[in-house]
């Protein structure tokens, strides 16, 4: 089977996923910043597990990601790029990109049917990634919510027009997409993913009102998450700069929130006051390419101190696609991964 080609890892790759013999420093009880005490290094998976529990660790786990632009390539190329990225930059959590397009309807874009496996190439890629990681790290599968998929199938203007002129038709299409995405989410977890990374971009001022998100967004987002509610690392990716953050602090079957503190202006300390789960963030994604190693350490310290132990250092969204390997390695070096 083609996906088995990723099972064999070089010895260096094992070290890059956190199985190391050198001593690191443990996070202080006051936060997950740079104040540490000597102890043996953890594996990437155990580091994330401890963050989920709010436990002590050698350092906070970290991750970051960007779009590979491989949506027209077969699964094995996608899986290889994901694994190579993880090994090269030694991320503790693997956020799998999911850029394969949702299948289009034969007629009008909204005349859809439930698809039991809408992204077969992505599922094969996840199986290969699972084999390649071999249990040494958690990985989560990116899923764009129904509203975003509808926009990709038509356009932003078309979805808004339909919301105004044919709301029942739009709701029916969103439900079908959500049911199909739920099937995909379950298959992703069966393939080894520790949860889904649900990208929600319409719960913000300028896209939908709170009332409209409650009608055209939330029911379908919850439907997808409900399908994999037992997964340990479901993550809400709250995309945008005017997000209705307060809608997501409780009552969702998700262990983590990823958002941009810099874009929203909502500080991590404020989120921590109302959200007890894992906060994934702290790094300013839009300025990532110009951040020095010292600048990244400062953002790590500030975010970690505000978030406490339930924290994964990460950007609030993908880093720019033009980011070079040298620029990406700055974060790896800053956190001493």
Q: Which residues is 95 bridged to in the sheet?
A: 140
Which residue, among 318, 248, 305, has the nearest Cα to 276 in the 3D structure?
A: 248
Determine the angle formed by the axes of helices 325-334 and 293-307, rounding to 10 degrees. Answer: 50
With H, G, I as helix, E, B as strand and everything else as coil, classify residue 329. Answer: helix
With H, G, I as helix, E, B as strand and everything else as coil, classify residue 131. Answer: helix
Each residue of 29-44: pLDDT tens digit? Answer: 344 444 443 356 899 9
State what percent of residues in the chain have pLDDT above 70: 88
Which residue, among 256, 274, 290, has the nearest Cα to 63 in the 3D structure?
A: 256
CB 308, CB 37: distance < 8 Å: no
Going by the DSSP 8-state scheme, the letter that residue 62 receives in this structure is B
Q: Round to whole Å and give the CA distance between 119 and 313.
A: 29
Predicted pLDDT at 39: 54
Mean pLDDT of 84-95: 98
B/e letters for 161-171, b = 16+ CB within 10 Å, e = fewer, are ebbeeeeeebb
CB 13, CB 84: distance < 8 Å: no
Q: Round to whole Å and give the CA distance between 280 and 236.
A: 10
How many contiguous H segments (helices) and E segments (strands) does the chain have?
Answer: 13, 9
State what percent of residues in the chain have pLDDT above 90: 86
- Domains plus CATH for the chain? 60-334 (3.20.20.210)
- Backbone angles phi and psi of 138, in degrees to 5: -80, 145
Each residue of 128-187: pLDDT tens digit? Answer: 999 999 999 999 999 999 999 999 999 999 999 999 999 999 999 999 999 999 999 999
Is residue 300 predicted with pLDDT exceeding 80?
Answer: yes
Q: Round to whole Å and give the CA distance between 311 and 79.
A: 27
Token pair listed for 276:
């007890």
Predicted pLDDT at 51: 98
Is residue 328 predicted with pLDDT exceeding 50?
Answer: yes
Is residue 7 predicted with pLDDT exceeding 90?
Answer: no
Burial of 321 (C-beta count, 10 Å sphere; 0-12/13-18/19+): exposed
Is residue 11 predicted with pLDDT exceeding 90?
Answer: no
Each residue of 219-266: pLDDT tens digit? Answer: 999 999 999 999 999 999 999 999 999 999 999 999 999 999 999 999
Question: Taking the model in full, what pTM does it have?
Answer: 0.88
Is residue 2 predicted with pLDDT exceeding 80?
Answer: no
Each residue of 189-224: pLDDT tens digit? Answer: 999 999 999 999 999 999 999 999 999 999 999 999
């Amino acid at each position: 089977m083609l996906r088995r080609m990723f099972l064999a890892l070089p010895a260096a790759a094992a070290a890059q996923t956190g199985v190391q013999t050198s001593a690191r420093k443990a996070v202080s009880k006051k936060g997950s910043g740079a104040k540490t005490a000597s102890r043996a290094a953890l594996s990437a998976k155990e580091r994330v597990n401890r963050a989920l529990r709010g436990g002590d660790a050698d350092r906070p786990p970290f991750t970051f990601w960007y779009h590979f632009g491989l949506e027209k390539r077969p699964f094995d190329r996608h899986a290889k790029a994901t694994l190579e990225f993880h090994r090269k930059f030694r991320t503790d959590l693997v956020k799998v990109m999911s850029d394969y397009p949702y299948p289009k309807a034969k007629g009008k874009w909204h005349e859809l049917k439930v698809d039991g496996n809408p992204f077969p190439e992505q599922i094969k890629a996840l199986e290969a990634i699972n084999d390649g990681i071999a249990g040494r790290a958690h990985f989560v599968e990116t899923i764009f919510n129904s509203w975003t998929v509808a926009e990709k199938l038509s356009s932003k203007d078309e979805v808004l027009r339909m919301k105004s002129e044919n709301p029942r038709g739009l709701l029916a299409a969103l439900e079908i997409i959500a049911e199909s995405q739920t099937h995909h989410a379950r298959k992703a977890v069966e393939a080894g993913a520790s949860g889904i990374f649900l990208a929600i971009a319409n719960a913000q001022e300028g896209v939908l009102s709170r009332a409209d998100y409650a009608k055209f967004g939330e029911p379908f987002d919850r439907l997808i998450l409900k399908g994999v509610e037992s997964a340990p690392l479901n993550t809400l990716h709250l995309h945008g700069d005017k997000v209705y953050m307060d809608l997501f602090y409780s009552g969702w079957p998700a262990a983590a929130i990823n958002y941009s503190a810099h874009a929203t202006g909502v500080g991590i300390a404020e989120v921590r006051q109302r959200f007890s789960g894992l906060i994934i963030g702290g790094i300013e994604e839009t300025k990532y390419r110009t951040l020095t190693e010292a600048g990244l350490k400062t953002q790590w310290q500030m975010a970690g101190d505000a978030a406490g132990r339930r924290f994964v250092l990460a950007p609030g969204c993908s880093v720019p696609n033009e980011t070079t390997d040298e620029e990406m390695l700055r974060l790896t070096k800053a956190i001493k991964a």
